Amino acid sequence: MTRPDKVMQQSCLNPLWLDALHARANCPPLRPRQDLLLNGERIGSVERDCFKQIVPDGQRLKTDAFVLERSADDCWHITGQGTQALAYIAQACRTENIGCVREQWRDELLAVFSPENRQLACVERGVARLLGIATRAVHLVGFTSNGHVWVQQRSLDKAIDPGLWDTTVGGLVPASDNLTKALVRETWEEAGIKLDVVQQLHAGGRVIVQHPNARDGAIGYVVEQIDWFAGVIPDGITPINQDGEVSQFALLQPLELKLQMESNVFTLDASLILSHALSHH
């Protein structure tokens, strides 16, 4: 059986393309942003006028559960019940369709963490990037026994990167899941494969992306931690999508994968994951 790391070693990527890829993955906001703090701990950032339709006087909103106010240092502070405050902000953004939240609403909660990695609250997925709140994702790179790689084409109905190619499976980690649970769920929903049949499964690494969110007119900001795993999908098993979010799967030889990546038909996240797999072996 050909080891995945040996296969990937055969396909070195263009250094100029890699430099451009990493620049896209670590890109500052297009406009200045103000820190968003929850009970004194930074959880995200917003553009200056983001809350102008939520906070009537532009300075302070008070409810029984929380206070949202702009401080003298030009930061936004949430004091009180964080999850309730973020739910209120999310619903208001949905009503006003600030940052295209209405189109991105998922009725799915994501965990909100402190800089020290403590969970502080939960937030609706559709507003996380508008508020610059860091998200977490998990991906699987699925190889075959002869070293080919299964990749998927995202559905044209996807809100983000429709029609682009991606890793075998991948998705955000909701507040209700840990990494393993999220990987099990995504592997089944996107590929119809039970994770326990994947052979040589191992953690591949972690990549961080920070860049403006083109989906909402770049008034949002993406901060995402992506943990990726690799393994061998046994011969005779073909990925079959279960949730309607994948247009098709393809099996690529390493050289073909390299050429397709360099032609920019893959998502930024997938390109980063696969390029890290190449560079680490």
Distance between CA atoms of residues 144 and 253, nearest Å: 10
Write down the domain spans for the chain.
4-27+135-279, 33-128
116: which residues sit within 8 A by CB, 6+ positions away? none
Cα separation, 145 vs 7, whole angstroms: 10
E strands in the chain: 33-38, 41-47, 60-62, 66-70, 76-80, 109-113, 119-124, 135-143, 149-154, 165-166, 169-172, 199-213, 220-232, 246-252
Q: Which amino acid is at 265?
A: V
CATH superfamily of 4-27+135-279: Nucleoside Triphosphate Pyrophosphohydrolase (3.90.79.10)
89 membership: H or E segment, kind and range? helix 82-96
Cβ–Cβ < 8 Å for 211, 243: no
Whether this model's pTM surpasses 0.85: yes
How many helices (H) and strands (E) the chain has is answered by 8, 14
Q: Print pLDDT tens along the chain (281 aa).
A: 444 444 444 458 899 999 999 999 999 999 999 999 999 999 999 999 999 999 988 899 999 999 999 999 899 999 999 999 999 999 999 999 888 888 889 999 999 999 999 999 999 999 999 999 999 999 999 999 998 999 999 999 988 899 999 999 999 999 999 999 999 999 999 999 999 999 999 999 999 999 998 766 668 999 999 999 999 999 999 999 999 999 999 999 988 999 999 999 999 999 999 987 766 54
Cβ proximity of 39 and 79 under 8 Å: yes
Maximum Cα–Cα distance across the chain: 66
